[in-house]
Amino acid sequence: MRTPQKIALLILVAVMLALPQFIADMPYIVNVLILAFYMTTMSMAWNLLGGMTGQNSIGHACFMGIGAYTSVLCVVKFGMNPWVSLVVAVVVTALITGLVFSQCFILRGPYFTLVTIAFAEAVRQVILNWDFAGKAIGVGLPYVRGNNWLLFSFRDKAIYYYVAFAMMVGVYLLMKRIDNSKLGFALKTIREDEDVAAAIGIRPLKYKVIAVVISASVSAVAGFFYAGYYRYIDPNIMLQSASVELVLPAIIGGSAFVEGPLVGGILMVSLSEYLRNTFGGILPGINLILYAVVLIVVIRFRPTGILGWLHGRRTRKEGKA
């Protein structure tokens, strides 16, 4: 990264850290930003498997749901500390996804995508009919007065803002490190041509399992945050439509780039919430219409996403120079 880019990035981070002090009396705006950070984190988790590895999943809301349910049930049913339940949630989610998908990676293309849809719906149906998990009613976390870090419950939304922002930045740094590592090289080689990857000594199954385990673990962390923020979850958080919403920011921003979900997530969630708040009473579901229209336009005219388009323009200018 060039020095001007580093300076711009540091300025942006400083602005984001200072922002809650200026919008403390506007809880709706704070909530939109928290949602944008959460969605961006989930989209980055998807992008590791879908964008970097080329294994298109429509089941990441399920990974998030497994993490959320595991953490909430550990707290509510077993009296576990929320931070300990986070560790349990990550381990359980990683084990389940690793075991299940290690048997499914022999499938390629749309067949693997169909497996992720079937897995997500199967898990949702189990939760819907499981008394221990509250069935369709769902399960909630107890409310705690004031701000309590030990119980991960805060009255001040600004704290959730900082936690969500730290989560997003931490996941971005993790993905950036993976992208520049031998693991990232192996994953991108598998994405481009799995047979070539195998021919040069890369074991596709091994690296796909690593990718899905890391991706699911990050989703579990986001699920823990989601449950702690809203204090209530139900099986609807694992609907297929929720998984599709997580994919769109990466595609719109540019799934070939680690920064793609960041650009797409912040842009699309903010715009979606603005339209929902401004025109929701006149035209319900306008945010979903927006997603559909933008996705169609991007796939038709800029299939590499916003960053892919900008990168292509810069490359052409440098070539002419």
- Per-residue pLDDT tens for 142-172? 888 889 999 999 988 999 999 999 999 999 9
- Per-residue pLDDT tens for 242-270? 888 888 888 888 888 888 888 888 888 87
Mean pLDDT value across the chain: 87
Report the pLDDT value the prediction gives residue 319, as an integer from 0 to 100: 60
- Per-residue pLDDT tens for 176-233? 999 999 999 999 999 988 889 999 999 999 999 999 999 999 999 999 999 999 999 9
| Domain spans in the chain, listed from the N-terminal domain onward | 22-238
Q: How far apart are CA 199 and CA 218, in angstroms?
A: 30
Q: How distant is the alpha carbon of residue 85 from its chain centre?
A: 20
Q: How far apart are CA 223 and CA 219, in angstroms?
A: 6
Q: Measuring CA to CA, which residue among 11, 44, 15 is closest to residue 169?
A: 44
Report the pLDDT value the prediction gives residue 110, as an integer from 0 to 100: 83
Longest dimension (CA), the chain: 67
Measured from the Cβ of residue 266, the count of other Cβ atoms closer than 10 Å reads: 18
Identify the three-state secondary structure at position 73.
helix
Report the pLDDT value the prediction gives residue 318, as an integer from 0 to 100: 61
Does residue 273 surpass a pLDDT of 80?
no
Q: Measuring CA to CA, which residue among 221, 239, 246 is closest to residue 170?
A: 221
Q: How far apart are CA 259 and CA 250, in angstroms?
A: 9
Q: Which are the contacts of 156, defined by CB distance < 8 A and separation ≥ 6?
A: 147
Does residue 140 surpass a pLDDT of 60?
yes
Identify the three-state secondary structure at position 232.
strand
Report the pLDDT value the prediction gives residue 2, as an integer from 0 to 100: 60
Percent of the chain scored above 90 by pLDDT?
50
Q: Could you give the angle at the alpha carbon of 292 between the alpha carbons of 54 and 190, nearest 5°?
A: 5
pTM for the full model?
A: 0.90
Measured from the Cβ of residue 73, the count of other Cβ atoms closer than 10 Å reads: 21
Q: What is the DSSP string of 16-33?
A: HHHHHHHSTT-HHHHHHH
In this structure, what is the dihedral angle of CA atoms 165, 170, 171, 173, given to the nearest 10 degrees? Answer: 130
Confidence of residue 5 (pLDDT cuts 50, 70, 90): low
Report the pLDDT value the prediction gives residue 240, as an integer from 0 to 100: 83
Does residue 289 surpass a pLDDT of 80?
no
Does residue 8 surpass a pLDDT of 60?
yes
Q: How many C-alpha atoms does 95 have within 13 Å on its Cβ side?
A: 7
Report the pLDDT value the prediction gives residue 170, as an integer from 0 to 100: 95
